[in-house]
Amino acid sequence: MAVKSRSKKSEPLPTRLRKTKFQADLAPADDRMVRALKDELQLNSNSDFLCDALALFRWAVSERKLGHRIVSETLEGERKILVLPRLERVAPEHSLPHVEIHWTSRELESLAQLASAPNANPPTEALIRAMRR
């Protein structure tokens, strides 16, 4: 004769994975940019846009973690390296592209005199553009 136990051991119900809601407050210019990109990429929803953006960003993070640079190359072979400060945080041991200048003592003295002169000219637009590169 079998005896059934009346106590019910509650087994956890399988949890359903729910989609997470995401809301962002964008500046008007950023909102226009998102809408334009969605149109250009023929994306119908913000979710599709965000999923694609996340995939691209996840790839970029993994590449920087490996020490790889992210490069855009024209058909003529001209290359531009993407430098995004937030992205560089994941690869702190890898240095950013830079140029090292070896100054002589005479050149440094001359530079100091020019920079400290009372009538020193402000930097030109060309110099400012070059420094931003």
* Mean pLDDT (whole number) for 5-18: 65
pLDDT tens, residue by residue, 33-73: 999 999 999 999 999 999 999 999 999 999 998 889 999 99
Task: Indicate whether 132 pLDDT > 90.
Answer: no
CA 63 to CA 77: how far, in whole Å? 21
pLDDT tens, residue by residue, 113-123: 887 888 777 77
pLDDT tens, residue by residue, 80-94: 999 888 888 888 665
Per-residue DSSP letters for 42-71?
T--SHHHHHHHHHHHHHHHHHHHHTTPPPE
